[in-house]
A and B are shown apart, each in its own frame.
Chain A
Amino acid sequence: MVRDYNNRHALDQKLRGTPKPANADHLEVGHWQAIATVLASVGLEAAVERALSSTPDLSLRYCGPGEWLVVSGVDTPLGLMRRLDMLCGTQAHVVDQSDGRVLMRLSGPSARQILAKGIGVDLHPSAFALGGSTNVLCGHIAVNLSRIGEDVFELIVSRSFAESLFEDLMTMGRPFDLSAAFSD
């Protein structure tokens, strides 16, 4: 039997054809970006972190000791894997997550208030600083949260949880008139 294989985004059905105008508080779902997990070998955590953070277009998201999500907006998934293999060599295990994770960017004056409804972490800039990132529970879904601006947060979630998280975020943002669309 011959089957057609379609590479669909996890939120394709939710967001396809949504009107573009964004409200003040907006949820932007990344359409295509490269994401990989890097797990450093025991004892080499600092060396791997140095190698990764010395590369300008790679964004490093902390998951746990010696473990990061690496996000690139300029590489293809394959290109990112090649770059990480070159950077880390045998010092770390690298796994492509570009199709395994979904990235969402929540921005706007009420972003913090929206997230506070589901996240048990203090999001005040003095506690969760710009550039900070961490794994955290949002409602009942584990996500990686990072602050990339004063009022701009990125959430990276497992693909199979993306639809639930999306619905939760839209419910959390309803009083603030949260809008949503694909990024490009």
Chain B
Amino acid sequence: MASLITCPHCGVRPKEEFAVRGDASLIRPASSASDAAWHDYVYVRVNPRGRTLEHWHHVAGCRRFLVVERDTVTHEVYSVVDGAAAAREVRR
């Protein structure tokens, strides 16, 4: 796993400071969506080989949720952005 994460607020930090909170590419269905859509959103995960988007919580640092784009094969980290900024980007 990628061992150094560059937090936009705290700088370069070891992975021990973070908690990985899962897939960040999911989009929450509308509240009126079908049970099947909600089931998929809550329970079904892919286990990708390669580039992934994940939520990382900087538990021992700024305590912000970050969106980390990394490669599960090469461990390369492509980008780290604040979760709130990422969410604003999606809404746009």
Binding site for B on A (CB under 8 A): 63-65, 67, 120-122, 134-137, 142
CB <8 Å contact, A135 and B61: yes
CB <8 Å contact, A64 and B62: yes
Chain A residues, CB < 8 A from B50: none
Q: Report how far A121 CA is from B16 CA in the complex, Å.
A: 12
B22 within 8 Å of A (CB atoms): no
Q: Report how far A67 CA is from B63 CA in the complex, Å.
A: 10
B29 within 8 Å of A (CB atoms): no
B60 within 8 Å of A (CB atoms): yes
CB <8 Å contact, B60 and A136: yes
Q: How many residues of chain B are within 8 Å of chain A by beta carbon?
A: 15
- B11 partner, pick from A67, A121, A137, beta carbons under 8 A: A121
CB <8 Å contact, A135 and B62: yes
CB <8 Å contact, A137 and B62: no
**Shortest Cβ gap from B88 to chain A (Å):** 12
Chain A residues, CB < 8 A from B13: 120-121, 136
Chain B residues, CB < 8 A from A67: 62
CB <8 Å contact, B17 and A65: no
Chain A residues, CB < 8 A from B82: 65
- B17 partner, pick from A63, A64, A122, A136, beta carbons under 8 A: A136
Q: Report how far A132 CA is from B12 CA in the complex, Å.
A: 15
Chain A residues, CB < 8 A from B59: 142
CB <8 Å contact, B14 and A120: yes
Chain B residues, CB < 8 A from A120: 13-14, 16-17
Given contacts A135-B61, A137-B17, contact A65 B11 (CB under 8 A): no
Q: Report how far A120 CA is from B82 CA in the complex, Å.
A: 21
Chain A residues, CB < 8 A from B60: 135-137, 142
CB <8 Å contact, A134 and B11: yes
